Amino acid sequence: MSDEYGAPQYGGQFPFPHTLFGILCTVGVMFLYQFGYGFLSYSLSPQGNSMLTLLAHIGAQIFFFLAPALAVCGLSPLGMNGLLRLVSPRISLVHIIVAIALPVVVQLFASSSVTILYTALPVALAEPLREYSDTLRETMEKLFSAGGVLGVTLAITGGALLPAVAEEILFRGVMQRSLEERLGAPVAITHTAMLFAVIHLNPESLLPLIMFGVGFGILAYTSRSLLPAMLCHFANNLLAVLSGFSPSLRSTDEWMSSSLPPLVAVPLCAASLFVFVMLMRWLLRHSRGIPVPS
């Protein structure tokens, strides 16, 4: 007997700890990736060569992130088909539209919410947070700054494609699908989104990352496929990577994140949040997924 995802069913008698499995595997793979990336970076590029560091980043994502995320699927009774939603996907035009629109909406929310955050925080807290966020941003820009066709190709692969595929397999596949089995979809989506945000270790982007996590989770659940979430995730990452190669995109991003007046930031933040909620409701109503209150 199988469920709607093609996963084996045990009539509620099988004592497999789906919730614990999903959380521990997700956290474990993330720690493994951090260790593997540090090891490869030190081994391949002790002098800080940008191209070798980028290759180490890609290698770590493949061997210490993507491969382990796929490997742990075999430990669950849901199997790879069940965890990765490979049976009977229901991808519609609505999913594609939301996947394309979501990065724009969340980025507008992120830019405006940063202004509000630094306006509200006392200087003693705002300055260290800004310095930490700037350091993270500069580190990523250096990582994906290698020039030439090869450099751009590797940057897109390591900064946009692989993270979109590996993170969706791990978070919306291994973790969220496991939590759905015991906790239900709404709880599974929100818990996975929160861990997804926290594990990026960027307090400045915590709320936008939670929004992305919720959006990715609803896309995956309602489409019964990881592909729309991967598309959305890739589109957002691609914009971030390309901004490092385009002075105009980078200057626009810097202006949006630091120069918005509070009188503009507050209504923009509220409007983008409202549009996000409406997109999610539209997606749910057209996908026969989680019931939406009237």
In this predicted model, which residue has the larger pLDDT, 19 or 51?
19
DSSP string covering 118-135, please? HHHS-HHHHHHHHHHHHH
Map out the domains of the chain as residue ranges: 90-285
Confidence of residue 260 (pLDDT cuts 50, 70, 90): confident
- Residue 294 pLDDT greater than 50, yes or no: no
Are the beta carbons of 225 and 217 closer than 8 angstroms?
no
- Contact, 185 vs 290, CB < 8 A? yes
Note the pLDDT tens digit of each residue in 182-229. Answer: 999 999 999 999 999 999 999 999 999 999 999 999 999 999 999 999
Q: Two tokens at 130?
A: 């800004």
Global pTM value: 0.89
What pLDDT digit, counting tens, does each position of 141-156 carry?
Answer: 777 776 678 888 999 9
pLDDT in tens, 120-136: 889 899 899 999 988 88
- How far is Cα 284 from Cα 27, in angstroms, rounded to an integer? 29
What share of the chain has pLDDT > 70, as a percent? Answer: 85
